[in-house]
Amino acid sequence: MSTPFLRSTIQSSLLRRSIFKPSTLQQNIRQFHYSSPKMTVHNISTTQEWKDALKNNKIVMLDCFATWCGPCKAIAPMLVNHSNDEQFKDIFFAKIDVDELPEVSQELGIRAMPTFMLFKDGEKAEELVGANPQALVGLLKKGAEA
């Protein structure tokens, strides 16, 4: 003779097994790759690296960020995705931490984060202040046209 508690426990156990079958779970698990994406945003850590990046690349997109900046963290993955986009393959993507390279950020006149700057032939051509995804794409398209 089973009690109502025992009956409900057995029924819920059977229900759980029918819902969470291993075959159902296997279909919903995301498959991961062992190869890493291109990840072509270069972290600039010295003033000389920045000068070399400007000198060695025709078009440079610079992301000026700070580790404590929330909008910088929010838009960073979007910039990485754009750096792997085929239409922006001729753009050199770089980023500097304004707290680690204060001399470069001062020279560039950074006043807010994030600031995106597009350089053509070593000269600043365009600037975008703030985390605006649509404006960032527009800036990148201007760079790709050059």
Q: What is the pLDDT of residues 115-141, one digit of tens each?
A: 999 999 999 999 999 999 999 999 999
Q: What does the pLDDT read at residue 17?
A: 53
Check whether 85 has a pLDDT greater than 50. yes
Task: Name the pLDDT band for 40 (thresholds 50, 70, 90).
Answer: confident
Rounded to an integer, the average pLDDT of 40-67 is 95
Contact assessment for residue 108 and residue 64, using Cβ atoms and an 8 Å cutoff: yes
Instruction: Tell me whether residue 72 is one of the annotated catalytic residues.
Output: yes
- CATH class name, domain 41-145: alpha beta
Q: Give the active site residue among 59, 60, 69, 113.
A: 69
Q: How many residues are present in the chain? A: 146
Rounded to an integer, the average pLDDT of 18-39 is 49
User: Cβ contacts of residue 73 below 8 Å, gap of 6+?
Assistant: none
Q: Give the active site residue among 60, 64, 72, 113.
A: 72
Report the number of secondary-structure helices (H) and strands (E) in the chain: 6, 5
Alpha-helix residue ranges (DSSP H) falling in the chain: 4-19, 22-28, 47-56, 70-83, 102-108, 133-145
